[in-house]
Structure 1
Amino acid sequence: MIPKPLHYFNEGLAFALELVALGALAWWGFHTGSGILVHLLLGLGAPAVMAWSWGMIAAPRAKYKIALPLVIVFKVLVFVLSSAAVYATGSHTFALVFGVVALLNTAVATADREAMTRQRDTQSD
């Protein structure tokens, strides 16, 4: 388990990365295809789909509770797709840095949550 200040920092970073993922999908959408209708559809639709699906299965108070490994797979998929979207707009360095930071953050958060769960379980025994 990581120290409390680092835990809070990592959780805050996770939220910031989720917001960046939304922005990345919007950025990609508004720069993909031709025509204002396509730009609006993708620029607003892609982040809306991400926000809705995240809220349904990955948010702390998600409507559908799924197994943690599936939540992690979902989060990794969202971050990889968001990074790929930014990469496709030509911002290669930002896309790579964002992807690496997001994946490291997800790994640290997962390990920290598992350690907290183990500690809670041993204290209740």
Structure 2
Amino acid sequence: MIPLARNANLLVTFLLELGVLASVGYWGFVTGSNWPVRLLLGLGGPALFIVAWAIFGAPNGAMIPLTGLARAVLEVLWFGGGAAALVMAGRVVPGIAFAAVFVVNAALRLIWNQ
């Protein structure tokens, strides 16, 4: 039972990572004042997040992998950025739910040493 729960928690982590990109993209497409700005924000925002994650956060392929407190700060900024993007796009309840799922997921990863 526990191995299944641990694997499910890793799946939730991956889905949260994808959710961050979707949230930032959504924010960009609803925030801009005109179509070119929306396109720039909607595609550029997730692109910046992808670059940051590839450099510092990717579990098995980061160019400069962070550990310890630096990793925790990166995750709070990364996943918090996804939640904040939803809130700034006017989706307060989904943003709060996203943040809550991240907190539970992160706590379980710490408990299970994932």
Q: Same fold (TM over 0.5)?
A: yes
Tell me what 1:66 maps to.
Answer: 66
Alignment of 1:67-106 (within 5 A): 67-106=67-106
Report which stretch shifted further, 29-38 or 9-18. Answer: 29-38
Secondary structure (helix, strand or coil) at the match of 2:31 reads coil
Please say if residues 58 and 65 of structure 2, whose CA atoms lie closer than 8 Å, have aligned partners that are also in contact.
no
Structure index of larger Rg: 1
* RMSD (Å), alpha carbons: 1.6
Please say if residues 26 and 42 of structure 2, whose CA atoms lie closer than 8 Å, have aligned partners that are also in contact.
yes
Please say if residues 28 and 41 of structure 2, whose CA atoms lie closer than 8 Å, have aligned partners that are also in contact.
yes
Alignment of 1:8-87 (within 5 A): 8-61=7-60, 62-87=62-87
Residues in 1 aligned to 2:65 and 2:28: alpha-carbon distance in whole angstroms: 30
Secondary structure (helix, strand or coil) at the match of 1:113 reads coil
Secondary structure (helix, strand or coil) at the match of 2:112 reads helix
Alignment size in residue pairs: 113
Shift of 1:86: 0.6
The runs of 5 or more residues in structure 2 that have no matched partner are: none
Tell me what 1:117 maps to.
Answer: none
Report which stretch shifted further, 11-20 or 48-57. Answer: 48-57
Residues in 1 aligned to 2:65 and 2:78: alpha-carbon distance in whole angstroms: 18
Shift of 1:80: 1.2
Shift of 1:31: 0.7
Report which stretch shifted further, 45-54 or 101-110. Answer: 101-110
Tell me what 1:121 maps to.
Answer: none
State TM-score, norm by structure 2.
0.90
The runs of 5 or more residues in structure 1 that have no matched partner are: 115-125
